[in-house]
Amino acid sequence: MTAPIAPPLCPDCGTPLPPESPQALCPACLLRQALASRTLVADSGDPPPLPPPTPEEMADKFPQFEITSCLGRGGMGVVYKARQKSLNRWVAIKILRQDRVGEEKFAERFAREAQTLARLNHPNIVTVFDYGETAGLFYIVMEFVDGVNLRDLLRDGKLAPKQALAIVPPICEALQYAHDKGIVHRDIKPENLLLDRDGRIKIADFGIAALVGAGGEAAGTPPYMAPEQAGTAAEIDHRADIYALGVVLYEMLTGERPTKDVVAPSRKVQLDVRIDEMVLKALDKTPELRYQTAGEFRRVVETLAGSAAEPPAATPPPVPPPLVAAQAAAANPDAAIKAAAIAMMIVSGLSSVVLIFGSLIAGGMILFVRDRVVSVGSLPRWASMIPVSNHGTMILSHAALMSLMVLWIVVVLLGQVVPFLAGVQMSRLRHYRFAIAGAVVMIVLGLTGGVLQTPGAPGFAGTWALVELGVGIWALVVVLRPGTKALFAATARPVSPREQLAVTAADPADARQWVAAPAIGLMVASGLNLLLAGGLVLALVMLTLLRAGPFPASPPSGGMVPAAGLLSLPLVALVFVGLPALLTFIGAWRMRRLKGYGLAVTAAILAIITPPGLLVGLAFGIWALMVLARPDVQAAFQREQSRATGRGCLLAGFALLGVLVLAILVIIGLRLLLPHHRTASFSPATPQVHPQNSPTPLSGQVIERSLALNTDGTSDLLDPRSGEVTPAPTPAQWTIPGLFIHRDAALVETMLTGANGALAQESRADQWDHLSNTQALATLRASSSSQGMTIGAVGHGDLPQTFLFKTLTGEIGILQVLRFSDNPRSVTFRYKWVEDAAGQPASKPAEAIR
Amino acid sequence: MTHPASHPPFFATTRWTLVCDAAQGGDTRAVAALGDLFATYWQPLYRYARRLGKSREDAEDLVQGFFTHLIEQCALRDTDRNKGRFRAFLLASFNHWIINSWKHASRQKRGGGIAPLSFDWHSAETGLKLEVADERSPDRLFDREWALTLLEKVLGELEAACRAEGGAAQFDQLKPCLTADSSRIPYAELAAGLGLSEGAARVAVHRLRKRYRAFLTAEIARTLASPAAVEEEMRALFAVLAE
């Protein structure tokens, strides 16, 4: 027995196992269990000595069913969980106890009873589907109720009076229904009162007591049997059920069964004395003195419960017809769900990985090889998302850029984690609503991703966004198909009795209080986001107006057209911040009224992942998710909204989709139309701009000049043709034709900008002496200058940096930035003409002049 | 650490007070029974002595000598026998013994007509973190090790009993259920692992838990003067372990 390096934890209490633990079991838990079971064993008696036939043993006898497990055994027989193959639905098969079966006329009586029971069609009664005899076994096929029984609940002790009183009315209603048909249950007890996952209460084993107990013989469970049941069966009527229900109620309230001389419940627990009166009346030894009908009992219970709060919804919506589920499930739906779930996991997982590595690589490039990447335009496309990109004049410091990038990674990862986890849960057919939320988030991610890419030329990233979108929609469609919910419900994790009770006794008023605060928080967060998005849009529009035109430094390969690029930023703000904020606001608004559970979950998630309101949204989003996870709150949502959940989500999702598609179309339109439009109106160049334009070949001589550099790093403006220098233009005045050099000290970047008509391309330094037909030259030759357009080139690496430029009138020259000096601040460069407007080479250079 | 599970537990006569009295009277079977009890619980004593700062050799001598002394003296000393707990009695007597040995500064003659027990001294050293400053007193540590020893023995017996029935694999798979709340036991998984039906797995778990309780109760009862105090002792041991 050697001490391991990291001691494993006890799975039960979570503390580290001491190295000397016997048999590698936690010693404290060993004793705790021994202590716990010692108190339990006292009244539970011996275990069933003989295990009931295993599902495998039963399988041969029921070929039409797939028997999966044994649900338990009771006085009446053994119950199995099974799937009815033909209808693909879960059922419970009860095999009646063998000892009565041999009796005379049993088969006849059994058939008669079963037919009677099959006529009971009530939401609070377990429906009988079929009955029969096979291989000497009498069986009844019943509705499978996924949940717990009241006995499980009572094992943890008594219930709160409000909860206890909430359970009784539906039982009374069902009893009244059966009594009206002349059917007495005769064995009402906690074991037969089932609570399903939606909080519905269902009475099981109707009339089976009478069936199994031979005619005339007392049948039932002693503590719940009315005194007259001990006598002859002939005297038993529906009032025996009322007595038994009284015992159950007494047990729920006090945690104990009534003794022979019934002690008023209020003497055991703190209770309204009127409840005493009601319970004691139900428990009266004389049937005539009890409530005479279950309906009467129910009214009294409801009045008493109503004095505390509204009774829970009288009858939940009728049982979802199993047939609907069966039809929908016909085409092997779990495979489709699993496929969609796995697709979601793969896509979001890959996205996360790509995003992390992409961001890290990009970040590293900026930090360590920054002079190779002076233009942020060379970052991966997704980085154009960061509102600093592409536009030289808006470049932020590295620290700001890095922190933005970190924020970006966090936000995107948070966004990707949701669909990933939802996919995991969905593949296990768990957490239906979370799956919906995951699909919606995936759609939103796909859409935002799609907008952020350049839609005109979807590269890998654009395609990936489409994949995300597709998978999200696929998953949503699969999940929202009718019947899927039932599948999820069938495999859901076992609900603890307490949770089940919370669902059954859920009170909308309480739930409203629970959700009020987080909902308001979400609304505040989304309001903040909306404000910020609005502000951002406004700021960007202002910026566009102020700096109309001169946004230089688009990547040499010719990236976004500035106007469209600028327009995409407000769009990004709208899509990434504004729309989620709007969705969050709507979700939170509806959440306050307990409507739209799926939308509420989505709203909470969106609030968490939407950046500007991150801090507020994070806190309230998490709070809202925690509140929404409460089973009673979920139940209250369901009560308030009988329609299928997720419909709100779907509508919102489609609305979002519509808006985004529109937005994408607008962008594509802008990008396609704008450049053509400009070229058309301003080209060919008007000679009026340069009246001195001469057809003679240009001289190839080298001209070296120095220009003053202004505090903002922009040089004076030089007209290369006339040699005129104009004082440095402010950005708003960049309308005079000519070239100027811009130096951005923060990025050690040199930029040659041709204002109002000149085009520039970066070239290699060795091109100064031997200009060859480079790509840059070819691009420049093919491009057309037009008035009003300002495009520049960014120089890389050490000085000298060499540029090719083309004037509005079509001459091409080569310019080399030689040095910058600080006192006085100036830039020195030389340039010479390469070819004239007609493409003829400039004449041989003479000596360089100053 | 394997456990000598071969000793057939004879519950009726193993209650330690009775055993001590009988051993005092010279009953050889009772001496053997006392030896059995001691063989189970000597380790905590040894480690206790080591924690008090005794060297290995001294601790070995003290424990071995104490056993001889125990057989000679146990019926005479501590008439109230510390309210009937073997655990408390053993520790109190051992403390007396250490003090006396110190006073006489003489090593006790080993044996005294009784064959020395063969102890696995080395294993008693395992995990003996003498260097670690433990805020718990040696008394509390003794109680803790006592409880661990007791559980070790009970589980050893349980395992042996299960193996005898041919369910070794079953024991290994089911033993985590001994510490789990009933509601948390994954019956379906267990059943699949064992190739049983779920119902059969439930029964197997129930049996194992029941058996464990029976063994545990019996073992604790053995160390008490009155079986009525089993529950109380169990709580005391749990409290020590849960610290």
Given a cut of 60, whether residue B102 has pLDDT beyond it is yes
Q: Distance (Å) from the C-alpha of residue B87 to the closest C-alpha of chain A?
A: 17
Residue A796 lies in a domain: yes
Q: Mark whether A819 and A716 lie in a shared domain.
A: yes
Residue A199 lies in a domain: yes
Name chain A contacts of B152, Cβ cutoff 8 Å.
Answer: 20, 22-23
Q: Mark whether A28 and A76 lie in a shared domain.
A: no
CA distance A475 to A486: 16
Query: What per-residue confidence (pLDDT) applies to A63?
Result: 84
| Nearest C-alpha neighbor of A390 from the set A379, A401, A399, A400 | A379
Given a cut of 80, whether residue A560 has pLDDT beyond it is no
Residue A423 lies in a domain: yes
Given a cut of 80, whether residue A73 has pLDDT beyond it is no
Given a cut of 70, whether residue A741 has pLDDT beyond it is yes
Q: E strands along B5-62, which residues? A: none
CA distance A332 to A843: 80
Query: What per-residue confidence (pLDDT) applies to A569?
Result: 59
Query: What per-residue confidence (pLDDT) applies to A613?
Result: 58
Question: pLDDT-derived band of residue A571, with 50, 70 and 90 as boundaries?
Answer: low
Identify the three-state secondary structure at position B101: helix
Q: Mark whether A175 and A222 lie in a shared domain.
A: yes
Are A22 and B155 inside 8 Å of each other by CB? Answer: yes
Q: Mark whether A710 and A787 lie in a shared domain.
A: yes
Does residue A827 contact residue A682 with C-beta atoms inside 8 Å?
no
For chain B, the structural domain boundaries read 11-242
Q: Mark whether A177 and A251 lie in a shared domain.
A: yes
Does residue A227 belong to the interface with chain B, where contact is any CB pair within 8 Å? no
Query: What per-residue confidence (pLDDT) applies to A370?
Result: 41
Are B179 and A54 inside 8 Å of each other by CB? Answer: no
Are B155 and A25 inside 8 Å of each other by CB? Answer: yes
| A187 has catalytic annotation | yes
Phi-psi sector, A563: left (phi>0), alpha (psi -120 to 50), beta: alpha
User: How many structural domains compose chain A?
Assistant: 6
Please state the rounded mean pLDDT for residues A761-774. Answer: 75
Residue A46 lies in a domain: no
Rounded to 10 degrees, what is the CA torsion of A321, A327, A329, A330? Answer: 150
Report the Cα–Cα distance between both ends of chain A, in Å, rounded: 91
DSSP string over A178-200? HHHTT-------GGGEEEETTS-
Residue B242 is nearest to which of A25, A28, A57, comparing CB atoms?
A28
For A365-394, write each residue's pLDDT tens digit: 555 544 333 333 344 443 333 333 333 333
Nearest CA in chain B to A34: B213
Cβ density class A781-805: b for 16+ within 10 Å, e for less: eeeebbbebbbbbbbbeebbbbbbb
Structure tokens at A740: 């100027």
A109 compared with A556, residue with greater pLDDT? A109
Are A18 and B148 inside 8 Å of each other by CB? Answer: yes
Residue A826 lies in a domain: yes
Residue B234 is nearest to which of A34, A54, A70, comparing CB atoms?
A34
CA distance A353 to A100: 65
Q: Mark whether A207 and A122 lie in a shared domain.
A: no
Q: Distance (Å) from the C-alpha of residue A428 to the closest C-alpha of chain B?
A: 16
Residue A59 lies in a domain: no
Name chain A contacts of B197, Cβ cutoff 8 Å.
Answer: 51, 54-57, 70
Given a cut of 70, whether residue A687 has pLDDT beyond it is no
Are A33 and B180 inside 8 Å of each other by CB? Answer: yes
Phi, psi of A692 (to 5 degrees): -85, 0
Name chain A contacts of B237, Cβ cutoff 8 Å.
Answer: 31
Beta strand A759-763 with A137-143 is unpaired
pTM here is 0.39
Per annotation, catalytic residue among A152, A187, A507, A836: A187
Number of CB pairs, chain A paired with chain B, less than 8 A apart: 112
DSSP string over A678-713? HHHHH-SPPGGG-TT---SPPB---EEEEEEBPTTS
**How many other CB atoms sit within 10 Å of the CB of residue A268?**
14
Q: A33, A153, A493, A498: best mutation site toward chain B, by most B Cβ within 10 Å?
A: A33
Does residue A525 contact residue A613 with C-beta atoms inside 8 Å?
yes
Q: Mark whether A424 and A562 lie in a shared domain.
A: no
Does residue A5 belong to the interface with chain B, where contact is any CB pair within 8 Å? no
Q: Which helix (H) or strand (E) holds B34?
A: helix B28-51
Does residue A151 belong to the interface with chain B, where contact is any CB pair within 8 Å? no
Does residue A234 belong to the interface with chain B, where contact is any CB pair within 8 Å? no
ipTM over 0.85: no
Report the Cα–Cα distance between both ends of chain B, in Å, rounded: 25
Query: What per-residue confidence (pLDDT) applies to A42?
Result: 36
Are B176 and A25 inside 8 Å of each other by CB? Answer: yes
Are A27 and B197 inside 8 Å of each other by CB? Answer: no
Q: Distance (Å) from the C-alpha of residue A503 to the closest C-alpha of chain B?
A: 19
Q: Mark whether A641 and A711 lie in a shared domain.
A: no
Name chain B contacts of A30, Cβ cutoff 8 Å.
Answer: 151, 155, 178-179, 212
Q: Mark whether A69 and A99 lie in a shared domain.
A: yes
Does residue A33 contact residue B179 with C-beta atoms inside 8 Å?
yes
Please state the rounded mean pLDDT for residues A706-710. Answer: 80
Q: What percentage of residues in chain A have a pLDDT greater than 70?
A: 63
Question: pLDDT-derived band of residue B67, with 50, 70 and 90 as boundaries?
Answer: confident
Q: Distance (Å) from the C-alpha of residue A356 to the closest C-alpha of chain B?
A: 38
**Please, what's the largest Cα pairwise distance for chain A?**
133
Q: Given A449, A468, A493, which residue is the final one in a domain?
A: A493
Residue A560 lies in a domain: yes
DSSP A9: B
Q: Mark whether A277 and A304 lie in a shared domain.
A: yes
Q: Mark whether A508 and A624 lie in a shared domain.
A: yes
Are B235 and A35 inside 8 Å of each other by CB? Answer: yes
Residue A324 lies in a domain: no
Please state the rounded mean pLDDT for residues A726-753. Answer: 63
Q: Could you tell me the residue range of the domain that residue A399 belongs to?
A: 331-493
Q: Mark whether A28 and A91 lie in a shared domain.
A: no
Phi, psi of A92 (to 5 degrees): -110, 135
Please state the rounded mean pLDDT for residues A736-760. Answer: 64
C-alpha distance from residue A227 to each of A235, A261, A286, A447 (Å): 11, 12, 8, 70
CA distance A50 to A67: 20
Q: Which helix (H) or strand (E) holds A717?
A: strand A717-718
